[in-house]
Amino acid sequence: MLDSVSLVRPRSGSLHTWSGPLRLCYCEAFGGPPWNEAEQAAGRFVAELEARSAATGFRIVLALDDGQRLLGFSWGASTVGSSEPECWHAVVTEALGPEMAGRGLVGAFELAELGVVPSARNRGVGSLLHDALLAGVVEDRAWLTTRADAAAAVTFYRNRDWQEFQEFRLPGRTTNNLLLTRRLREGSGPSVNWRTLKTSTSSLSPTSPT
């Protein structure tokens, strides 16, 4: 754990004041392997954050050191479904099929992204961001996707009770993505049996690992 880390929850209307630090943090967090994200991706990330800030259940957490340097971020939102082709839920629906997405993802919380700069990794920052983001989420279950070959990220989520649900590949890509799910609490309404859904949905044949 770093000596001093503070967590900040910016209001959606003030996200523009963090655009510079968020862009730099994204480049540091995802610029190396296996992500190798270009600087243009950081611009798209900041634009998506601002666009999604009005979404149902949107929340974001930032981690700062005692010098107010941005060390990492986590954000997500409720999954209510969308017909917009650029929406990640729509992309996942296209890859996995509407039955699984409609029954399994809609109504759950999406942990959209969690990133930590290399100098702050393995020091408790990621855990703080993860737990703070999920604290108080009203949904009883959550989902996320990550690259299947991102071993450190997959291990991080496994250690926090996320379950690997399905591996899939997007059109035109050479690497697989991994869908993980997590029960947050027992809900008062009908819950989704992820295991039954996985085995009963014919459109979920896993792709071959790279």
On whether residue 206 sits in a domain, the answer given is no
Distance from C-alpha of 64 to C-alpha of 125, rounded to nearest angstrom = 9
Angle between helices 39-52 and 19-30 (to 10 degrees): 130
C-alpha to C-alpha distance for 23 and 88, rounded to whole angstroms: 20
- The whole domain housing 42 covers 5-200
Q: What is the CATH number of the domain that holds 157?
A: 3.40.630.30
Establish how many alpha carbons lie within 13 A of residue 189's alpha carbon, considering only the half-sphere containing its beta carbon. Answer: 7
Residue type, position 187, single letter: G
Give me the average pLDDT of each 10-residue run along the chain (210 residues). 85 91 97 93 94 92 95 93 60 74 80 96 96 95 94 97 88 86 69 44 31
The reply to whether 209 falls in a domain is no
Residue type, 91: V
Number of domains within the chain: 1
Residue 208 lies in a domain: no
Say if residues 129 and 72 touch (Cβ distance below 8 Å). yes
Whole-structure pTM value: 0.84
pLDDT in tens, 112-157: 999 999 999 999 999 999 999 999 999 999 999 999 999 999 999 9
CA distances from 16 to 78, 117, 123, 177 (A): 22, 20, 28, 30
Instruction: Please state the separation of Cα 88 from the chain's center in Å.
Output: 10
- Structural domain includes residue 210: no
